[in-house]
Amino acid sequence: MTKLENPVLMATIGGAQGLRGEVRAKAYTADPGALGDYGHLHSMDGRSFEVLEIREMKNVVVVRFRGVNDRNAAEALNGLELYIERDNLPDEELEDDEFYYADLEGLEARDDKGVSYGTVTGVFDFGAGDLLELKGPGKRPVLIPFSEASVLEIDLEAGTLLIDPLAAGLVDDPEELSKFTPDKPKKKK
């Protein structure tokens, strides 16, 4: 049983493929065929899966795991999400403007005046481009585009995103920006 400290979703298992225990899976890697290159995959219930064979097929990959030898065992995995530890992802291969979604979660979104719009609680792609979900204290979650116009700068060390609230759709009118004031620490009484 393995408990991951900082899990990163790598794939979701779909239906069984054939009779010998293979499964179809949606891989969330840049190269779907490289899913097995990151070591063992883990489910949140502590199971570990070793990829023996993998091949691409249309929009999914077909995977054979060690110990999954028949269709019944493969069907039992339907819907299972597979993760790896964040430390297993190679940072040295990233370009300057590339980020892992997992690294963006928890960053605070601020504008150039220091006004906080919440923290990133999720990154989504519904087909029209990446969206960041921001959630602030006492506020409902909002989605903003993860684009160069909306997100001006990412500082992983400081834990912040510099955003343009107008381009992000958080305000409708530039005049509204003057109503916001930077967050100041509250004094203890």
83-134: pLDDT as tens digits: 998 888 877 777 777 788 888 889 999 998 888 999 999 888 887 888 999 9
Domains and CATH numbers, the chain: 7-88 (2.40.30.60), 101-163 (2.30.30.240)
41-85: pLDDT as tens digits: 999 998 999 999 999 998 899 999 999 999 999 999 999 999 998
User: What 3-state class would DSSP assign to 84?
Assistant: strand
The encoded tokens of residue 85 equal 């530890």
Listed residue (56, 8, 63, 51) closest to 33, CA to CA: 56
CA distances from 47 to 19, 44, 96 (A): 22, 7, 35
Angle at the Cα of 172 (from 171 to 174), degrees rounded to 5? 80
**116 close to 110: Cβ distance less than 8 angstroms:** yes
